[in-house]
Amino acid sequence: MPSHSPRQHLDMVIVGAGFAGLYMIHRARQAGLSVMCFEAGSGVGGTWYWNRYPGARVDIECVEYSYSFSKELEQEWDWSERYASQPEIERYANYVADRFELRSDIVHSTRVTSTVFDASQRHWVIRTDQGHEVTADFCIMATGLISAPIEPSFEGLEDFTGEQYLTSRWPAQKPNFENRRVAVIGTGSSGIQVISEVAEEAGQLYVLQRTPAYTIPLQNRPVDPEQAAKMKAQYAELRERQRNSFSGFTLVHSDLSPPPTLSALEVSDEARRAEYENRWASGGLSPYYAFTDSLLNMESNQTLAEFAREKIRARIDDPVIAEKLCPQYPILTRRLSPETRYLEAFNRSNVELVDLLEAPIHRFTKQGLVVGDTELPLDAVIFATGFDVMTGAMDRIDIRGRDDLTLKARWAEGLTSHLGMMTEGFPNFFWINGPHSPFYNPILLAEYQCDFICDLITDLKADNIEVIEPLPEAEAQYVQLTNDIGNNTLYPQSENYYMGDNIEGKPRNTLFWFGGFPFYRKQCRLARADWTGFRVE
Ligand code: N01
pLDDT in tens, 362-390: 999 999 999 999 999 999 999 999 999 99
Query: Which of the listed residues 146, 341, 353 should we mutate to test ligand 1's pocket, taking the one with most ligand atoms within 8 A of CB?
Result: 146
pLDDT (0 to 100) of residue 257: 62
| Same domain, residue pair 454 and 520 | yes
The answer to whether the CB of 284 falls within 8 A of the CB of 335 is: no
d(CA 490, CA 387): 22
Query: Which of the listed residues 385, 491, 498, 499 should we mutate to test ligand 1's pocket, taking the one with most ligand atoms within 8 A of CB?
Result: 385
**Ligand 1 centre from 266 Cα, in Å?**
34
Residue where a domain terminates, one of 263, 288, 303: 303
Helix (H, G, I), strand (E, B) or coil at 145: coil
| Same domain, residue pair 370 and 460 | no
Name the least confident of 282-286, 295-299, 487-491, 521-525: 282-286
Q: Which residues line ligand 1 (CB under 6 A)?
A: 57-59, 146, 185-191, 193, 210-211, 335, 338, 356, 361, 384-387, 497, 502
d(CA 19, CA 449): 12
DSSP class of 119: T
Mean pLDDT within 160-175? 96
Comparing C-alpha atoms, which of 267, 225, 185 is closest to residue 81?
A: 225
* Nearest CA owner, ligand 1 atom 20: 502
pLDDT (0 to 100) of residue 253: 65
d(CA 205, CA 212): 17
**Ligand 1 centre from 148 Cα, in Å?**
12
d(CA 490, CA 488): 7
Q: Are strands 468-470 and 398-400 parallel, antiparallel or unpaired?
A: unpaired
d(CA 210, CA 188): 10
Query: Which of the listed residues 335, 353, 443, 494 should we mutate to test ligand 1's pocket, taking the one with most ligand atoms within 8 A of CB?
Result: 335
**Ligand 1 centre from 348 Cα, in Å?**
23
d(CA 89, CA 9): 33
**Ligand 1 centre from 502 Cα, in Å?**
9
Query: Which of the listed residues 19, 208, 502 should we mutate to test ligand 1's pocket, taking the one with most ligand atoms within 8 A of CB?
Result: 502
| Same domain, residue pair 397 and 459 | yes
d(CA 440, CA 402): 31
| Same domain, residue pair 511 and 403 | yes
Q: Which residues contact 451 (CB under 8 A, 6 or more apart)?
A: 27
Atom of ligand 1 nearest to the CA of 191: 19
Domain count, the chain: 3
pLDDT in tens, 265-308: 999 999 999 999 999 999 999 998 899 999 999 999 999 999 99
Mean pLDDT within 507-517? 96
* Nearest CA owner, ligand 1 atom 29: 186
Question: CA angle 312-316-321, nearest 5°?
Answer: 95
Atom of ligand 1 nearest to the CA of 356: 11
pLDDT in tens, 60-76: 999 999 999 999 999 99
Mean pLDDT within 328-345? 98
**Ligand 1 centre from 244 Cα, in Å?**
29
Atom of ligand 1 nearest to the CA of 335: 25
Query: Which of the listed residues 61, 153, 210, 370 should we mutate to test ligand 1's pocket, taking the one with most ligand atoms within 8 A of CB?
Result: 210
Atom of ligand 1 nearest to the CA of 146: 32
| Same domain, residue pair 503 and 399 | yes
pLDDT (0 to 100) of residue 529: 86
Helix (H, G, I), strand (E, B) or coil at 452: helix
| Same domain, residue pair 351 and 476 | no
DSSP class of 64: T
Residue 323 lies in a domain: no
Residue 509 lies in a domain: yes
Task: List 363's β-bridge partners, or say none.
Answer: 370
Is the pLDDT score of 1 beyond 90? no
Residue 475 lies in a domain: yes
d(CA 468, CA 464): 11
372 C-beta neighbours (distance < 10 Å), count: 13
Kindly report the average pLDDT of the chain as a whole number. 96
Residue 428 lies in a domain: yes
* Nearest CA owner, ligand 1 atom 17: 335
Residue 434 lies in a domain: yes
d(CA 281, CA 289): 14
**Ligand 1 centre from 177 Cα, in Å?**
22
Is the pLDDT score of 3 beyond 50? no
pLDDT in tens, 449-472: 999 999 999 999 999 999 999 999
d(CA 66, CA 19): 9
Judge residue 104's burial from the number of C-beta atoms within 10 Å of its C-beta, 0-12 exposed, 13-18 middle, 19 or more buried.
exposed
Residue 66 lies in a domain: no
pLDDT (0 to 100) of residue 298: 98
Is the pLDDT score of 5 beyond 60? no
Is the pLDDT score of 492 beyond 80? yes
| Same domain, residue pair 208 and 237 | no
Residue 270 lies in a domain: yes
* Nearest CA owner, ligand 1 atom 12: 188
**Ligand 1 centre from 495 Cα, in Å?**
12
Residue where a domain terminates, one of 320, 352, 383: 383
Measure Cα distances from 312 to 247, 271, 280, 506 in Å.
26, 21, 11, 32
Residue where a domain terminates, one of 280, 303, 326: 303
The answer to whether the CB of 51 falls within 8 A of the CB of 190 is: yes
**Ligand 1 centre from 309 Cα, in Å?**
19
| Same domain, residue pair 169 and 281 | no
**Ligand 1 centre from 59 Cα, in Å?**
15
Comparing C-alpha atoms, which of 281, 220, 226 is closest to residue 81?
A: 220
Atom of ligand 1 nearest to the CA of 168: 9
Measure Cα distances from 410 to 48, 91, 238, 395, 472 in Å.
30, 38, 40, 10, 13
**Ligand 1 centre from 336 Cα, in Å?**
11
pLDDT (0 to 100) of residue 6: 53
Phi, psi of 523 (to 5 degrees): -60, -40
Letter string b/e over residues 3-18, b meaning 16 or more CB atoms within 10 A of that residue's CB: ebeeeeebbbbbbbbb
* Nearest CA owner, ligand 1 atom 21: 186
| Same domain, residue pair 355 and 392 | no
What is the arrangement of strands in the sheet containing 361-364, beginning at the earlier edge strand?
361-364, 368-371, 374-377
pLDDT (0 to 100) of residue 255: 66
Residue 398 lies in a domain: yes
pLDDT (0 to 100) of residue 7: 73
pLDDT in tens, 85-116: 999 999 999 999 999 999 999 999 999 999 99
pLDDT (0 to 100) of residue 259: 77
**Ligand 1 centre from 93 Cα, in Å?**
24
The domain in which residue 108 lies consists of 9-44+102-148+388-536
pLDDT (0 to 100) of residue 256: 64
**Ligand 1 centre from 202 Cα, in Å?**
21
| Same domain, residue pair 189 and 295 | no
Is the pLDDT score of 50 beyond 60? yes
| Same domain, residue pair 360 and 394 | no
DSSP class of 286: G
305 C-beta neighbours (distance < 10 Å), count: 21
Judge residue 278's burial from the number of C-beta atoms within 10 Å of its C-beta, 0-12 exposed, 13-18 middle, 19 or more buried.
middle
Query: Which of the listed residues 189, 371, 512 should we mutate to test ligand 1's pocket, taking the one with most ligand atoms within 8 A of CB?
Result: 189
Is the pLDDT score of 16 beyond 80? yes
The answer to whether the CB of 361 falls within 8 A of the CB of 371 is: yes
| DSSP per position, 302-330 | HHHHHHHHHHHHHH-SSHHHHHHT---SP
d(CA 52, CA 431): 25
| Same domain, residue pair 261 and 365 | no
What percentage of the chain reaches a pLDDT higher than 70? Answer: 98
**Ligand 1 centre from 324 Cα, in Å?**
17
What are the E-state strand segments in 220-332? Answer: none
pLDDT in tens, 225-266: 999 999 999 999 999 999 999 999 887 666 666 678 899 999
- CATH code at position 371: 3.50.50.60
